[in-house]
Structure 1
């Protein structure tokens, strides 16, 4: 027995499947998935099974008849998808039908949909049952899963990461964009799905390592060469430099290694830059 990495059509995620035969990469096989028998593709070399792991099963290599039937089911699912989209518009339902997928034995049809609110699906279920005798399963998917299943182009001009290689949707936060010194523009930081770009996480750990050697933004520093002091206004982690607004009114880009933090004595000796003296508080009036 051997464990093979298997990929289904609408997701780049690899699933470990137990097989009696070590099929080479690229082989189309019939597997027993959670929904039933489906056609998938072997995407790598096999490995030995581990006793503590649970696996799906590779049933056999896909025959020409299997592949022809699978293509017919794919076309039937596409036709049913567009029909359900039309029926949803007629009924005024705020729902988008993302995909309709049959199992190879046609025992189950899964309708993946996206909706911003809870909706009544009874009418659409009846439409599906009017065209197939398979059991019907409606599955809600989020914006990232929708982009993964459909496939879109990212800002880089390539197919989005979620439908090409991402194995899991790791949490992405706006802090990652701040650490990478990116402009906090929602349009530039959001992917086709409308959520923060998944690729923000790829280099985040490297940026955190680079930021350890840089002073923080707004820190008061002095240049060891010229002796000029000022405030850090911007960080350039990849270049290892920072922009410093000096007390003389100049903006300089200097290597972070040539800077030192101002001492407490130097900070106390600095004038209160631009704020001026605080106004005296008016005396509190006492009730007569």
Structure 2
């Protein structure tokens, strides 16, 4: 079992495993320099040295290069302060070249050697001339990173329909698959405005309570089931998972709300079809 530390490069982003190597006293919050596929980068320890199983290691485990020094931190802060100006310059160049794309963010590496421009575009864009001009202006290696609608919302931030700061921008570190089936499982209206976030995609929070709804519904009778209630026999027309109650249409036509624990399912029966009205000739 290898010993690893968890390192995160920015708040609300994925945590990566690195080997502590010869550095034995790392603590949460310590700044470190690590080797990534893009070169050396500044990160922060978010998980103290821990033994993990080999199954949790994806690919080759890289070793922390060294602790970050005050000079590293000062340099990172200096280049961070230049990112807004770099983004404005990039947008200016995009307009000059007439490229069908929108720059969303600019991020320098801690030492200023690399500048990553995040952008959105509806089609493939030839940005080679843009990269050449930006590299000449900033004296840095420029990378263009196309992102999707969810990543755009994460970068820009904002508030959701619930009135709280966007989950993706405030605490969510990874995006999880969301499906329309989850909205159906939670008996939500399926109109796009009701179940979509500011990014235009399905709400990430549909994932959070889905398992609860699945588990709760497994212990409750299904809609359409015939049950005995304290008020008599009837057919379930809807469920309320949060209050664990059922809405039941009785045989006399009245509708009542009862607790799920108060009903007894009968042998599976089909709800009688309503008689069709015949038109007179």
**Shorter-chain TM-score: what band?**
0.7 to 0.9
- Evaluate the alpha carbon distance shift between residue 267 and residue 119 of structure 1 in structure 2; reply closer, same or farther with a 3 A threshold: closer
Residues 76 and 111 of structure 2 are in contact (CA less than 8 Å); yes or no, is this contact kept in structure 1? no
Question: How do 1:119-134 residues align onto structure 2 when only pairs under 5 Å count?
Answer: 119-134=125-140
Q: Secondary structure at the match of 2:81?
A: helix
Residues 241 and 254 of structure 1 are in contact (CA less than 8 Å); yes or no, is this contact kept in structure 2? yes
In 1, the alpha carbon distance for the partners of 2:160 and 2:253 equals 41
In 2, the alpha carbon distance for the partners of 1:160 and 1:172 equals 16
Residue of structure 2 equivalent to 1:284:
none
Residue of structure 1 equivalent to 2:257:
253
Residues 221 and 259 of structure 1 are in contact (CA less than 8 Å); yes or no, is this contact kept in structure 2? no
In 1, the alpha carbon distance for the partners of 2:238 and 2:97 equals 53
Residue of structure 2 equivalent to 1:222:
227
Residues 17 and 55 of structure 1 are in contact (CA less than 8 Å); yes or no, is this contact kept in structure 2? yes
Question: Given the alignment of the two structures, is residue 33 of structure 1 paired with residue 39 of structure 2, yes or no?
Answer: no
In 1, the alpha carbon distance for the partners of 2:54 and 2:214 equals 38
Deviation by residue 1:93-117 (Cα, 9 ceiling, x = unmatched): 3322122223234333222211122
Q: Secondary structure at the match of 2:38?
A: coil
> What is the TM-score with the length of structure 1 in the denominator?
0.83
Q: Secondary structure at the match of 1:248?
A: coil
Residue of structure 2 equivalent to 1:242:
246
Question: How do 1:5-44 residues align onto structure 2 when only pairs under 5 Å count?
Answer: 5-9=6-10, 11-19=12-20, 20-21=22-23, 22-44=25-47
Q: 1:210 Cα shift?
A: 0.5
Higher Rg of the two aligned structures: 1
Unpaired segments ≥5 residues, structure 2: none
- Evaluate the alpha carbon distance shift between residue 94 and residue 244 of structure 1 in structure 2; reply closer, same or farther with a 3 A threshold: farther
Question: Given the alignment of the two structures, is residue 79 of structure 1 paired with residue 85 of structure 2, yes or no?
Answer: yes
> What is the TM-score with the length of structure 2 in the denominator?
0.84
In 2, the alpha carbon distance for the partners of 1:233 and 1:278 equals 29
Residue of structure 2 equivalent to 1:286:
none
In 1, the alpha carbon distance for the partners of 2:47 and 2:205 equals 24
Deviation by residue 1:217-264 (Cα, 9 ceiling, x = unmatched): 3x142334232323x322101222111233433221112233344546
Deviation by residue 1:125-171 (Cα, 9 ceiling, x = unmatched): 13312213322221111112222333333334433322344343221
Q: Secondary structure at the match of 1:159?
A: coil
In 1, the alpha carbon distance for the partners of 2:36 and 2:11 equals 14
In 2, the alpha carbon distance for the partners of 1:255 and 1:274 equals 31
Deviation by residue 1:175-205 (Cα, 9 ceiling, x = unmatched): 1112112222322322222211112111211
**Count of residues paired in the alignment:** 274
Question: How do 1:28-177 residues align onto structure 2 when only pairs under 5 Å count?
Answer: 28-48=31-51, 53=57, 54-177=60-183
In 1, the alpha carbon distance for the partners of 2:6 and 2:181 equals 34
Residues 220 and 261 of structure 1 are in contact (CA less than 8 Å); yes or no, is this contact kept in structure 2? yes
Q: 1:37 Cα shift?
A: 1.5
Superposed CA RMSD: 2.8
